[in-house]
Amino acid sequence: LFLARLMHRSVLTAQEQSAILALPTRAHIYAPREDIVSMAQTTKHSCLVGEGLAARFAETASGNRQSIALHIPGDMADLHSVVSPKVVTPLQAFSRCLIYEIPHPALRRIATEYPAIAYSFWRDGIIDAAIVAQSVLNLGQRKAPARIAHVLCEIATRIGAVRPKTFSFDFAISQPQLGEVVGLHAVHVNRTLRKLKTEGLAVLDGKKATVLDWPALIERAEFDPAYLQMEPLDFHKPLP
């Protein structure tokens, strides 16, 4: 699973691939709303999402929560903890989650041994950061309907569920949780979802999302998938 994600983003040789497949893992199940990684601790492993929906969080002193990043199956939610083990954004399960823990020493070992793996880890973090950067744009400049539409477009694209016009995909998120993602209150999320439905764009039922008109939805969201950087980069070729 992790290998597939990495190879979406970087080119790896057979030897490097088997080094990754040989990584030790420990499976864990988390209930909805349960913390996977808590604040203020120092981690010794990274978390690969196997099933479910997880999110990285931040909160203000007054207790308002904000989701920083959503993580779908295949995401290495905190690969960054290898080089930044002090937790500054906790990780929580949105729905029931299957998590594979991979110890830092093993990750450090293969990154030191194979430079291309080190680069692929680095690149993975950079692309995740580019996704977070887009949500700065989303929160800073878009109004509620476009904001929610953009999240739907991004998840649909990352999951690989996109079809020409109509399709569904797993998106187990409640309206209050979606509010934490888009920086809106639950009540307003509800009204905005109604609007998207009556406009014939998309529907969300708490378990899955249904896109009714993909071209219209991406237009409403002003969605351009370039920032997801879907083409793998090859670190074996020397640069000019």
Based on the shown chain and the rule CB under 8 A, indicate whether residue 25 belongs to the binding site for its own copies.
no
CB nearer DNA, residue 27 or residue 31? 31
Q: Which of residues 32-71 bind its own copies (CB under 8 A)?
A: 44, 56, 58-62, 64-66, 68-69
Identify which of 99, 123, 100 has the alpha carbon closest to the alpha carbon of residue 111: 123
Based on the shown chain and the rule CB under 7 A, indicate whether residue 175 belongs to the binding site for DNA.
yes
Based on the shown chain and the rule CB under 8 A, indicate whether residue 188 belongs to the binding site for its own copies.
no
Q: Give me the least distance between CB of 63 and DNA, in Å please.
A: 11
Type of residue at 64? N
201 phi, psi to nearest 5 deg: -100, -50
Q: What's the DSSP call for residue 86? A: B
Say how many CA atoms lie within 13 Å of 239 toward its Cβ: 2
Type of residue at 155? I
Chain centre distance of CA 136: 15
Based on the shown chain and the rule CB under 7 A, indicate whether residue 59 belongs to the binding site for DNA.
no
Based on the shown chain and the rule CB under 7 A, indicate whether residue 134 belongs to the binding site for DNA.
no
11 near 235, Cβ under 8 Å?
yes
Q: Give me the least distance between CB of 23 and its own copies, in Å please.
A: 14
The 97-103 sheet, strands edge to edge = 26-30, 97-103, 45-51
| Dist. CA 25–CA 102, nearest whole Å | 5
| Dist. CA 145–CA 129, nearest whole Å | 24
Candidate list 26, 163, 165, 194; residue touching DNA; CB under 7 A: 194
Q: Which of residues 13-32 bind DNA (CB under 7 A)?
A: 31
Type of residue at 189? V
> SS3 for 143?
coil
Based on the shown chain and the rule CB under 8 A, indicate whether residue 89 belongs to the binding site for its own copies.
yes
Based on the shown chain and the rule CB under 7 A, indicate whether residue 137 belongs to the binding site for DNA.
no
Based on the shown chain and the rule CB under 7 A, indicate whether residue 210 belongs to the binding site for DNA.
no
50 near 26, Cβ under 8 Å?
no
Q: Which stretch binds DNA (CB under 7 A): 121-129, 183-191, 212-220, 224-232?
A: 183-191
Based on the shown chain and the rule CB under 8 A, indicate whether residue 126 belongs to the binding site for its own copies.
yes
Based on the shown chain and the rule CB under 7 A, indicate whether residue 177 belongs to the binding site for DNA.
yes
Identify which of 19, 129, 130, 114 has the alpha carbon closest to the alpha carbon of residue 79: 129
Binding-site ranges for DNA (CB under 7 A): 31, 33, 143-145, 147, 174-177, 183-188, 190-194, 206-207
Binding-site ranges for its own copies (CB under 8 A): 44, 56, 58-62, 64-66, 68-69, 80, 82-86, 88-89, 104-105, 108, 111-112, 115, 118-119, 121-123, 125-130, 132-137, 139-142, 182-183, 222, 224, 226-227, 229, 233, 235, 238-240
